[in-house]
Amino acid sequence: MASAGEAWAPGIRVLIPEGELRARVAALGAEIARDYLGKELTVLCVLKGAWLFAADLVRAIPLPLTLEFLGVASYGADTRSSGEVRITSDTLTPLHGRDVLVVEDIVDSGLTLRFLRQALVARGCRSVRVCALLDKPARRVDSTVGVDYRGFTVDDHFLVGYGLDHAEKWRNLPFVGVLEASGGG
């Protein structure tokens, strides 16, 4: 029998089903709410990959918060990071003096996260923590980067769905899947 995505997403194998994603996001939201109780939280969603996760996550955090967006690119249309991180769109609000929670789709090499932490510290954030839906430690180039809130630890596969893409496709899958065939788009 075909998996949930195969009918219209051939070559993609479901790794984390929709129900598991929902349950883990709810648990992360509760944990973050406990840690930020009494603080003014600013959630910084890293575009484009984290937008679906961030939308679900902020609804699972029962605290007043502000939401900002930052566009960052390091992949292009390839399945491997270029190693070069660049800001493609900046926040509209200064982050100086704020408690910032960076929401990432996946921490892979760690280069993007290192870049973001350095940039946010330079901007004078009061605190910077990271919430990543997926953590892929096998690909870590910079072992000094840390993830404070982790959805799932995953093996070294190229993943799509739930915001993650390959050449801008597959973000709309309701699950996280492994791209097993490069011709799937």
How, if at all, do strands 65-73 and 86-89 pair?
Answer: antiparallel
Query: Torsion angle of alpha carbons 56, 24, 71, 76, nearest 10°?
Result: -120
- Residue 40: count other Cβ atoms within 10 Å of its Cβ: 13
Task: Out of 108, 135, 142, 156, pick the active-site residue.
Answer: 108
Residue 19 DSSP SS3: helix
Q: How far apart, in whole angstroms, are the C-alpha atoms of residue 141 and residue 114? A: 10
DSSP letters spanning 54-96: HHHHHHT--S-EEEEEEEEES-TTSSS--S--EEEE--SS--T
C-alpha dihedral sign at 168, 169, 175, 176:
negative
Task: Return the H-helix or E-strand segment holding 103.
Answer: strand 99-107
The answer to whether 148 is a known catalytic residue is no
Give me the active site residues, please: 108
